[in-house]
Structure 1
Amino acid sequence: MDSAKEIFMEFVGQAGTVFEVGKSILGLIENHWEFPRGIDENVNNLRRKGDRLNGQKEGIESRIKSKLRPRKKISKEVVLYFEDVKRMNGEIPILVSKVSTRSFFSRGFLVNDVRKMGEELDELLEKGRFSDDLLVDDLSWIGQVLPTPSFVVDAIELVKNKIIRYLRNDGVQKIGVYGMAGVGKTTVVKLVNNELLKSVSNFDIIVWVTVSREFSVIELQKKIAEAMNVVITVDEDEILRAGMLYEILTEKGRFVLFLDGVWEGFSLEKVGIPEFSGGKLVLTAQSMDVCRQMDCHVIKMERLPEQDAWQLFLDNVGHNLMNFTDLLPIARCIVERCAGLPLVIVTVACTMRGERSLSIWRNALVELKSNILVWVKNEVYSQLRFSYDRLKDPGIQKCFLTCASYCEDLGILKGQLIMDWIEKGLIDEMGSKEVMLDKGQAILRTLVENCLLEDVGNERVRMHDLTIDMAKLIIQEL
């Protein structure tokens, strides 16, 4: 009897369990299942909305591409929109696949998912109707557009493009631009700086520093840090400061560091400038030797060709000069006297702007012929004089000064110049004539690489008129 009772109670328990399970299943169906009428059409609508969303996204990307510039970044709202689109592009195919592979009954559990995804797509399409607020100011951007001439001659433009090609070449880390004072070195690298800032480039920061003539590692470290709006502790020693600067530049990512006016080579490691980290260094110098010491790809700034010089002069003096035929021959002679140096051409042209008196133009030409430094002493003389002072060796300085006494338009024969130095006792007795001739060649090379003499080919060198005038002033001071 007890056994029968136990069996009955077990049966009742099992029946209750089955009932509860059935009740749970019915509740699940009631809450999550819908008759899947029209689900295929709704899935097709999902696909169409997904296509519209991607088309909308591509349109936004095109607008951003046309407007994105340095100092700007994509707004957070747009970034979140792109992330949502990416997520939907992953979720739509999964849901479509589920619907297409499930039985009629199982599809009923997906009706609500299809509806919710459609609603989310509608919200995203509405959200993607951005007006003009795609971009915002990037407060973390480092770089400054620099003033440059409104008119740039072809020769300068060619050098600018060459530097930019080097910057885009992963095999080139350091670029050195050298040439005599006033030839346009600073102008061309400022143009490069601005080009990088105004166009979308592969660099994260652009840093411009003007280097002091009296070189100091700590001073250079300070200037680089200030250009990046960061502070390096003043009381730290040189090595620790270098470590801080190295860490900062490395964290900033791909950088271009412009160093304008480098007068002597220095160790990048001592300053804290990373090499081979994706960063680039562009420096200007008056000495090829400085560029070579810094292991740079060297670019020499040549003087402007005649046509470029004339165009630059006209742009600064005023193109209406062409209406005064009596002034044109004198103007041409003045430009020739400027000898292709942009700084001199611009200075003289601005001085003569608006002047229509023939006698004033003739007098200007006479003054330029007698001493061109009178016109550009403040802008050029100090730089030329510093190049001379940097020679340090009194013997080499004396050899340079003797060159001012030659008046040969075609240049001075190198061999003759060296022999003159030997005969005047400017090259010390060194055991044999061959050794002294070699010493003379070394002196010549030093003067050429410091842009105090110009190698004009055919075994000849020449002094620029500015350099001659400077040498004459120095001789007067001695």
Structure 2
Amino acid sequence: ISRYHFKKQAHFYPKSVSHFLNMDSAKEIFMEFVGQAGTVFEVGKSILGLIENHWEFPRGIDENVNNLRRKGDRLNGQKEGIESRIKSKLRPRKKISKEVVLYFEDVKRMNGEIPILVSKVSTRSFFSRGFLVNDVRKMGEELDELLEKGRFSDDLLVDDLSWIGQVLPTPSFVVDAIELVKNKIIRYLRNDGVQKIGVYGMAGVGKTTVVKLVNNELLKSVSNFDIIVWVTVSREFSVIELQKKIAEAMNVVITVDEDEILRAGMLYEILTEKGRFVLFLDGVWEGFSLEKVGIPEFSGGKLVLTAQSMDVCRQMDCHVIKMERLPEQDAWQLFLDNVGHNLMNFTDLLPIARCIVERCAGLPLVIVTVACTMRGERSLSIWRNALVELKSNILEWVKNEVYSQLRFSYDRLKDPGIQKCFLTCASYCEDLGILKGQLIMDWIEKGLIDEMGSKEVMLDKAQAILRTLVENCLLEDVGNERVRMHDLTIDMAKLIIQELTFFCCSSSPIQQICIFFQFRLFILLSKVLSCNIL
């Protein structure tokens, strides 16, 4: 180029200088110029090709963009309809099909891309819009495909093979009092600030029933939990046994040969991987370490346990819910639901039926058992006899269901002094309850509280025993500084006292109790001596 420039300016220089530019040089310069011009031509040709492939005259592009908006609105309406159908049909053990999930993802992507393309078209110049014509066309075609794809029939849901949970059998009739407790537990489960819930109350009051109802409610409705696990805890608590039961409920195997810490780690990992869970532990008799078992404590995991002792719930750091006995109206309604509402047609039986329900003292298990026994019975004499039997020994009607639980609560008191104090309560026959102060003074005066240096210390000890009996649901605090023993508990205490009647003919319950414990000690010493002799 410099030589070409030099040649162009040669006529300004003396002839001697321009003489240096011979014909060969001129030819070389010309060829170089032609080569460069060819390169420029090729570049221009390529640019024109690109324009030809990607640019179209933007005729009607505004109308096409409006069509995009309309199709986008139709697509979102279709998506909302599919979501409504899913919401009405989604149940536990079901999940949204992969095809529907991909459809939702595509709709979400289009909702992000449409506004961007519309904005580009509205802000570009006439020439620049020509490059967007093809994009508008392609997006319209993709929207048409999505609208066609969204015409799902009934294949929105498929079976979820990874689901864990089981609907449990519950009574057909649920009274308002139990429904209220169920709703309270569900509210706690929905509260991220509550991880552990403890439901306690005496045997037969409906603890297991209410948590079964909660379990089924979570399974039958769309909840925030990934798995629901139900475990019935053995009375003789064992970390290994509990770990094994939890694992079995989740369809996984944990070998008992593993170290306890390793088993806990495996269970912890499994529960954590499952995500948000609810673990129901029915029938917990003593507190234990969640870490030792392998139950994770985090906002996504919930623990619901039932116990007969408030102390267990307190040891487990639970939000405590006490199951109270049914109020009179609910008790009567539950009785009618199970005995049959046509009982109302037999006016001669109604007064006796009312007395029977009153004798059941608000325990759902007893009410249902007695009602089912009397269902279809229309003989006045049979109803009168049933009332007499209930008054003499209500425990005989529900011995298999309740007695073992009550007796286990008594045996777990362990301290013979507390057991003696409990058994004496069976000798009080006051419907309004026993004054706490009177009961404590009776214990002290009858020598049931060990001498402890001062009366104040003995009073404190007696207060602690009274609290233990109340928290283990062997006595009921009825307010006004009074406690009461449920009729079932009285019958259970009498059965225990009758164990010693073979050895003592005294009518005094206190003397019977003392002889009973002396006899138990004698048996124990006899066994020890026999072992030493052998």
Same structural fold, with TM-score higher than 0.5 when normalized by the shorter chain: yes
Q: Deviations over 1:286-318 (max 9, x none)?
A: 111111111111111111011000000000000
- Structure 2 gaps of 5+ residues are 1-22, 500-533
C-alpha distance in 1 between matches for 2:100 and 2:76: 14
Deviation, 1:201, is 2.0
Deviation, 1:102, is 3.4
C-alpha distance in 1 between matches for 2:489 and 2:444: 23
Deviation, 1:325, is 0.7
Once the two structures are overlaid, the 10-residue window that deviates more, 382-391 or 220-229, is 220-229
Once the two structures are overlaid, the 10-residue window that deviates more, 176-185 or 199-208, is 199-208
C-alpha distance in 2 between matches for 1:21 and 1:118: 34
The aligned counterpart of 2:75 is 53
Deviation, 1:95, is 2.4
Pick closer, same or farther for the CA change 1:101–1:172 going to 2, 3 Å: closer
Contact 1:264 1:290 in 2 (8 A): yes
C-alpha distance in 1 between matches for 2:116 and 2:483: 77
After TM superposition, list the pairs within 5 Å mapping 1:99-118 onto structure 2.
Answer: 99-118=121-140
The aligned counterpart of 2:84 is 62
Secondary structure of the residue aligned to 2:122 is: helix
Deviation, 1:187, is 0.6
Q: Deviations over 1:233-286 (max 9, x none)?
A: 321111111111112222222221111100011111111112234211111111
Q: Deviations over 1:46-90 (max 9, x none)?
A: 121112111211222222223323322211111111111111122
Deviation, 1:112, is 2.2
C-alpha distance in 1 between matches for 2:55 and 2:192: 60
Q: Deviations over 1:363-415 (max 9, x none)?
A: 11111111111110001000000001001111111111111111111111222
**Root mean square deviation, CA, Å:** 1.9
Secondary structure of the residue aligned to 2:198 is: strand
Deviation, 1:154, is 0.9
Deviation, 1:36, is 2.6
Once the two structures are overlaid, the 10-residue window that deviates more, 98-107 or 232-241, is 98-107
Whether 2:407 is the aligned partner of 1:405: answer: no
Q: Deviations over 1:202-256 (max 9, x none)?
A: 2222111110000001111111111122222321111111111112222222221
When the two structures are superposed, what TM-score results if normalisation uses the length of structure 2? 0.87
Deviation, 1:324, is 0.6
Whether 2:240 is the aligned partner of 1:247: answer: no
Deviation, 1:13, is 0.9
Deviation, 1:132, is 2.1
Q: Deviations over 1:93-128 (max 9, x none)?
A: 232233333343433333222222111111111111
Contact 2:193 2:299 in 1 (8 A): no
Stretches of 4+ moved more than 6 A in 1?
Answer: none
C-alpha distance in 2 between matches for 1:2 and 1:57: 77
Whether 2:286 is the aligned partner of 1:264: answer: yes
C-alpha distance in 2 between matches for 1:26 and 1:460: 101
Pick closer, same or farther for the CA change 1:414–1:100 going to 2, 3 Å: closer
Identity score, percent: 100
Once the two structures are overlaid, the 10-residue window that deviates more, 170-179 or 180-189, is 170-179
Secondary structure of the residue aligned to 1:261 is: strand
Contact 2:240 2:256 in 1 (8 A): no
Once the two structures are overlaid, the 10-residue window that deviates more, 93-102 or 290-299, is 93-102
When the two structures are superposed, what TM-score results if normalisation uses the length of structure 1? 0.96
Secondary structure of the residue aligned to 1:326 is: coil
Contact 2:195 2:299 in 1 (8 A): no
Contact 1:221 1:241 in 2 (8 A): yes
Deviation, 1:319, is 0.3
Contact 1:250 1:277 in 2 (8 A): no
The aligned counterpart of 1:165 is 187
Larger Rg: 2
- Structure 1 gaps of 5+ residues are none
Q: Select which of 178, 186, 201 maps to 1:179.
A: 201
Q: Deviations over 1:15-70 (max 9, x none)?
A: 32233223323433443333332222222211211121112112222222233233
Whether 2:96 is the aligned partner of 1:74: answer: yes
C-alpha distance in 1 between matches for 2:454 and 2:44: 117
